[in-house]
Structure 1
Amino acid sequence: MTTTTAGGGAGTEGGANVSGWTRARRVERANARGDVRARAVSSSAASAGRESGEYDAGSIQVLQGLEPVRKRPGMYIGSTSTKGLHHLVWEVLDNSVDEVQAGHASHVQVTVDDDGFVTVMDDGRGIPTDVHPVTGKSSLETVLTILHAGGKFGGDSSGYHVSGGLHGVGISVVNALSELVEVTVWRNGNEYTQSFSRGIATGNMKEKQQDGSGNKKGTMVRFKPDDQIFDKVKFDNNIIRTRMKELAFLNKGTELHLKTFNTKTKSYVEEKLVYAEGLKDYVLDLTADATRLHEPITFSGEMEGIRVEGSLCWTADSYSDTLLGYANSIRTIDGGTHIDGLKYSLTKTINNASRKAKLLKDADSNLGGDHVREGLSGVIAVWVPEPEFEGQTKTRLGNSEVRRIVENIASDAVMGHFEFNSADLKAVFAKAQSAFKAAEAAKRARELVRRKTVLTANRLPGKLSDCSSSDADRTEIFLVEGDSAGGSCKQGRDRSFQAVLPLRGKIMNVERKLDAAALYKNTEITNMISALGLGTMGEDLDTSALRYSKIIILTDADVDGAHIRTLLLTFLYRYQRDLFEKGFVYAAVPPLYKVAVGKKETYCYDDDDLQRVLAALPEGANKHIQRFKGLGEMMPEQLWSTTLDPKTRLLKRLTVDDASAANHMFSTLMSKEVDPRRRLIEEEGAALASIDF
């Protein structure tokens, strides 16, 4: 699970100087961005001296080159936070993987330095370097400095039958949003180099003859993101490793190397990621902590130029499904026609196979799709010559023909497997039938609860202090530990858009047994389901039914608070994983300390923060340090200025980049098995003990 910073960092409110992410840093960054945007404005418009409000030809801005990218980076990479920062790596990495998929490369290496630079190198054909007939510049400079200039528009004639990067903006966007980009190309026995800064070439392309045999080929892109654009230029090695692991699964047999710098040993650590079985290895990884009902069902095929690969495995001890979709090696987190086709195929095929095997009688109704998929872990990947993605960030596949093709290929493979493996069919059918019975029991439990007026749409939980706004896009809810903290939060919040739901004690651990009937009998669980608008367990997330755009977990900064936060995260992840996929879940970060010197108050969010503040105080200063034992100790005004105010607070958005890692972590932390949890504690304890603080 990945955390990314959202909202404000920390700053001043009501005279309190809050340390951490200081307001000064935000102002500095905002000013820098303002300078960037100011450069995009026509100088003639700036000097025209028009009166405010006058609108004529001089008011029309014409952005040149890559200026649109620097002015509106979110349009091209989604955000300027951690997610957008790593998106730059994906743009370069996907270009190298496209060379692999086209059959021109077999090795890709990513190097992450501790100075903010990332290097991506492959052994493909190398970016063309000859003079482009339209721009009059080298093709290398053309693709780096001009939007929608690339080699992937020409289909098979370009050498790319399928590709993840089809818009021709990837590498140029990286160039526009980087402080420095250095490109090296090896081809035709020569070595070509050129440097760029913030979208502009800093010199002409240089050419020299290769050393040695002269047979080296490929491209190396080394870049450092611009701190005028991004909140923080700090790459997360785990996020990069996860993406490279995905690509290694999707491109079986391809070697991907990750080199990261270890600041403790002052040396590089290199990892080789290669999977001979491809998607089968992926599913085995997803189900590593589960009891598999059968060996993974793996299939592949091609129709109408569209290639399909997939792997599926049902498990006995999981009560939800994990279906991951990819299009041209790009993760489609919002699904699409390939996922729809697989779901429809599985529902139809399992029912047909069950009737053929006499497991379903003539009088029995068909099993529903949710019941068929319970306990399923699967990966479906398609390679489409002309994919229709939603936006540059490619979160959903829209090609209608893909659904039909996936249906046909998956149905034939799954039906064929069950015809020759009747024991597997019986195990999967028993799992689906059990899910159906559990759903019926849960339905009865829900009806009982509804009669008690807890889950009805017009009767929200009594403890919920709702906000006055009904606009879900701007509202947020705090899930707060205990009535005491809930009272402070209710008094300190902005009632127009902030709701508060206090929770009593520690909620049930759903990882031990995710029993839908038991969930609907639990008061704290049903309060959250109705307050948040989560719907029925097993259904796809209906974002239009959600009552808030931010679900913020607010617990004490102690061991009990961490445990309660983990219990809440486990429930939300197992009940509706799409909340994380779509970025609705956050964790609030309350301060641990208050340092008062006279009338000046400074809030510190961890021990390191406290030491920095104390070190900056004048010698002999009369200071008072308060350690907050819980949120209930904070006055409403303090809670507002440090934790609730969007202008000053620090929020962490919780997302899932690696489904298998998330499944493994929840299983390790919260399941009945004690040994894996003990090993994790021992390993983490040993790692902390080895750090020189």
Structure 2
Amino acid sequence: MTESGKSSQPAQVNEYTASDIRVLDAREAIRKRPGMYIGSSGERGLHQMVYEVVAYAVDEHLAGHGGAIDVTITADGGVRVADHGRGMPVEGIERELTELSFGSKPRTGYGTSGGLGGVGLCVVGALSSRLTVEVRRDGRRWTQAYEKGVPVTALTRHEETGGHGTAIAFLPDAGIFEPSRFSFATLSERLRELACLNEGLAVSLTDERPERPVRHHHSGGLPAYLAHLSPHPSGRVHSAALAFASQNADRTLLAEVAMEWNTGSPGGLHSFANSTRTVEGGAHEHGFRTALTDLLNDYARRHGLLPPDGGDLSAEAVDEGLTAVLSVKLTHPVFEGCTKTRLGNPEAMDYVREVVRAHLTEWLERNPGDAAAVVRHVLGRAATGNERGVGNPG
């Protein structure tokens, strides 16, 4: 009985049946909740669309095919990405662009893979009002067109060609993205990262929109990216920037580092996993920071560079003026979140710590003058912080 004295009606358990369960196909699921796949339907997600297509091209380079990627912001506001890789397998074009085939890349010859692990092109197609793919492979040129993830033409065979590669052009759906206009500066900075993180890769960006015809060309390794982030060599605390790389025995994990302390730069640790910026850090960053702080403290104490009654160098003081680029490439990355902002692999933490310890120990012992200059710099920053009350209670 209810408080009013009336009998409550029994729940109609049979009202909920299998017919009430709606199963979305890939296209519907992506268009209904784009943020689950590319982070947002705003500016961040808009640019993530480009990064997903570029990631496919970068993976071809990592597999040993194609050393150049050309990205164009087209006059109509769309984007075209062209590579010189093997060309997408013709029989798999429609499947690649319409199915959420998670993890497909590692099964098709990619040792390490960026992007969304095989679903990125499908997501881009579903969220584009128009997409065209052009493949040069097997002695022919092939094309197909899509609208909002649905093929609107058959796969068409064209003239013979001796070339190879894949070109994908797409126009984001303005009904999903707000804003739907690409930023040249945002794309240029990300493409610079990719070129520097993948040595031997050249990436160009061209803007064909009427108000700003311009072209940028990026190439180089981690030292080139470090020089971009810290462009004041006269302020460097030591004689030259440090750069080192190491790969584990079974070739499943590669760690690369470029770093310097500089009084003219704000500093900052820029970390990447499989060429994706890990803005929330993770295991690889933790391994780097702990190794660096422990090593500097150990070196400073063994060589009498710390005051006898002083405490350890803090991680915050070590970070002052330090600009570092940390890149790891893993066969089996474990990310937190679909857009891969934090790396969770514990083996990445252990390996980065091991690599930093080995290479930095050697550098410190081989360059005692530079080592002492770094310790003095860190001590000076720590003293400045203490004068300002940094870290003091109250």
User: Taking structure 2 as the reference length, what is the TM-score of the superposition?
Assistant: 0.91
Task: Say if 2:229 is the partner of 1:283.
Answer: no
In structure 2, the residue matched to 1:229 is 176
In structure 1, the residue matched to 2:296 is 350
Q: Deviations over 1:135-184 (max 9, x none)?
A: xxxx1000101112664132xxx221111135321000000000011001
Which aligned pairs between 1:370-409 and structure 2 lie closer than 5 A? 370-409=316-355
Deviates more, 1:143-152 or 1:295-304: 143-152
Tell me which amino acid in the other structure corresponds to 1:427: A
Q: Give the unaligned 5+ runs of structure 2.
A: 1-14
Tell me which amino acid in the other structure corresponds to 1:293: V
In structure 1, the residue matched to 2:105 is 152
Which aligned pairs between 1:483-494 and structure 2 lie closer than 5 A? none
In structure 2, the residue matched to 1:651 is none
Tell me which amino acid in the other structure corresponds to 1:279: L
Between the aligned partners of 1:445 and 1:405, the Cα distance in structure 2 is 31
Equivalent pair of 1:143/1:150 in contact (CA under 8 Å):
no
In structure 2, the residue matched to 1:247 is 194
Task: Say if 2:250 is the partner of 1:300.
Answer: no
Task: Say if 2:330 is the partner of 1:369.
Answer: no
Between the aligned partners of 1:317 and 1:200, the Cα distance in structure 2 is 52
* Deviation of the 1:316 alpha carbon: 2.1
What's the secondary structure of 1:309's corresponding residue? strand
Tell me which amino acid in the other structure corresponds to 2:243: T
Between the aligned partners of 1:387 and 1:205, the Cα distance in structure 2 is 34
* Deviation of the 1:389 alpha carbon: 0.8
What's the secondary structure of 1:244's corresponding residue? helix
Q: Give the unaligned 5+ runs of structure 1.
A: 1-53, 131-138, 451-693
* Deviation of the 1:362 alpha carbon: 6.0
Tell me which amino acid in the other structure corresponds to 1:122: D
* Deviation of the 1:292 alpha carbon: 1.1
Q: Deviations over 1:202-251 (max 9, x none)?
A: 121111342xxx32111000000111211132111111111111111111
Count of matched residue pairs:
378
Q: Deviations over 1:491-528 (max 9, x none)?
A: xxxxxxxxxxxxxxxxxxxxxxxxxxxxxxxxxxxxxx
Question: For the structure 1 residues 230 and 166, does the alpha-carbon distance in structure 2 shift closer, same or farther, using more than 3 Å as the test?
Answer: closer
Question: For the structure 1 residues 317 and 244, does the alpha-carbon distance in structure 2 shift closer, same or farther, using more than 3 Å as the test?
Answer: closer
* Deviation of the 1:55 alpha carbon: 4.1
Question: For the structure 1 residues 150 and 122, does the alpha-carbon distance in structure 2 shift closer, same or farther, using more than 3 Å as the test?
Answer: farther
In structure 1, the residue matched to 2:59 is 98
* Deviation of the 1:355 alpha carbon: 2.4
* Deviation of the 1:446 alpha carbon: 5.5
Equivalent pair of 1:184/1:191 in contact (CA under 8 Å):
yes
What's the secondary structure of 2:105's corresponding residue? coil
Between the aligned partners of 1:229 and 1:193, the Cα distance in structure 2 is 26
Between the aligned partners of 1:198 and 1:349, the Cα distance in structure 2 is 54
In structure 2, the residue matched to 1:184 is 134
Q: Deviations over 1:612-635 (max 9, x none)?
A: xxxxxxxxxxxxxxxxxxxxxxxx
Which aligned pairs between 1:287-686 and structure 2 lie closer than 5 A? 287-289=230-232, 291-294=235-238, 295-303=240-248, 304=250, 305-317=252-264, 321-360=267-306, 364-443=310-389, 447=393, 450=394
In structure 2, the residue matched to 1:270 is 215
Q: Deviations over 1:527-546 (max 9, x none)?
A: xxxxxxxxxxxxxxxxxxxx
In structure 2, the residue matched to 1:670 is none
In structure 2, the residue matched to 1:170 is 120
In structure 2, the residue matched to 1:197 is 147
Between the aligned partners of 2:185 and 2:324, the Cα distance in structure 1 is 22
Question: For the structure 1 residues 431 and 98, does the alpha-carbon distance in structure 2 shift closer, same or farther, using more than 3 Å as the test?
Answer: same
Tell me which amino acid in the other structure corresponds to 2:225: Y
In structure 2, the residue matched to 1:82 is 43
What's the secondary structure of 1:392's corresponding residue? coil
Tell me which amino acid in the other structure corresponds to 1:381: S
Equivalent pair of 1:105/1:123 in contact (CA under 8 Å):
yes
* Deviation of the 1:435 alpha carbon: 2.3
Between the aligned partners of 1:439 and 1:149, the Cα distance in structure 2 is 48
Q: Deviations over 1:456-500 (max 9, x none)?
A: xxxxxxxxxxxxxxxxxxxxxxxxxxxxxxxxxxxxxxxxxxxxx
In structure 2, the residue matched to 1:220 is 167
* Deviation of the 1:262 alpha carbon: 4.9
User: Taking structure 1 as the reference length, what is the TM-score of the superposition?
Assistant: 0.52
Question: For the structure 1 residues 312 and 206, does the alpha-carbon distance in structure 2 shift closer, same or farther, using more than 3 Å as the test?
Answer: same
In structure 1, the residue matched to 2:5 is none
Task: Say if 2:14 is the partner of 1:68.
Answer: no
Question: For the structure 1 residues 445 and 164, does the alpha-carbon distance in structure 2 shift closer, same or farther, using more than 3 Å as the test?
Answer: closer
* Deviation of the 1:440 alpha carbon: 2.6
* Deviation of the 1:85 alpha carbon: 0.7
Q: Deviations over 1:43-82 (max 9, x none)?
A: xxxxxxxxxxx64433321212311001111111111111
Between the aligned partners of 2:391 and 2:205, the Cα distance in structure 1 is 50
Equivalent pair of 2:284/2:328 in contact (CA under 8 Å):
yes
Tell me which amino acid in the other structure corresponds to 2:93: L
Between the aligned partners of 1:445 and 1:62, the Cα distance in structure 2 is 54
Between the aligned partners of 1:81 and 1:352, the Cα distance in structure 2 is 47
Question: For the structure 1 residues 241 and 206, does the alpha-carbon distance in structure 2 shift closer, same or farther, using more than 3 Å as the test?
Answer: same
In structure 1, the residue matched to 2:157 is 207
Tell me which amino acid in the other structure corresponds to 2:39: G
* Deviation of the 1:364 alpha carbon: 4.2
* Deviation of the 1:361 alpha carbon: 5.9
Deviates more, 1:324-333 or 1:359-368: 359-368
Between the aligned partners of 1:353 and 1:241, the Cα distance in structure 2 is 40
Tell me which amino acid in the other structure corresponds to 1:144: L
What's the secondary structure of 2:227's corresponding residue? helix
Between the aligned partners of 2:40 and 2:86, the Cα distance in structure 1 is 32
Between the aligned partners of 2:21 and 2:133, the Cα distance in structure 1 is 35
Between the aligned partners of 1:230 and 1:316, the Cα distance in structure 2 is 41
Tell me which amino acid in the other structure corresponds to 1:349: L
What's the secondary structure of 1:153's corresponding residue? helix
> CA RMSD of the aligned region, Å?
2.1
Q: Deviations over 1:103-151 (max 9, x none)?
A: 1110100010131210000000111112xxxxxxxx1000101112664
Task: Say if 2:95 is the partner of 1:142.
Answer: yes
Larger Rg: 1
* Deviation of the 1:252 alpha carbon: 2.3
Identity of aligned residues (%): 36
In structure 2, the residue matched to 1:128 is 89
Between the aligned partners of 1:83 and 1:70, the Cα distance in structure 2 is 16
Of 65, 68, 75, which residue of structure 2 is paired with 1:114? 75
Between the aligned partners of 1:108 and 1:431, the Cα distance in structure 2 is 41
Q: Deviations over 1:601-651 (max 9, x none)?
A: xxxxxxxxxxxxxxxxxxxxxxxxxxxxxxxxxxxxxxxxxxxxxxxxxxx
Question: For the structure 1 residues 354 and 229, does the alpha-carbon distance in structure 2 shift closer, same or farther, using more than 3 Å as the test?
Answer: same
Tell me which amino acid in the other structure corresponds to 1:353: Y
In structure 1, the residue matched to 2:10 is none
Deviates more, 1:434-443 or 1:391-400: 434-443
Between the aligned partners of 2:154 and 2:39, the Cα distance in structure 1 is 32
Between the aligned partners of 2:51 and 2:222, the Cα distance in structure 1 is 20
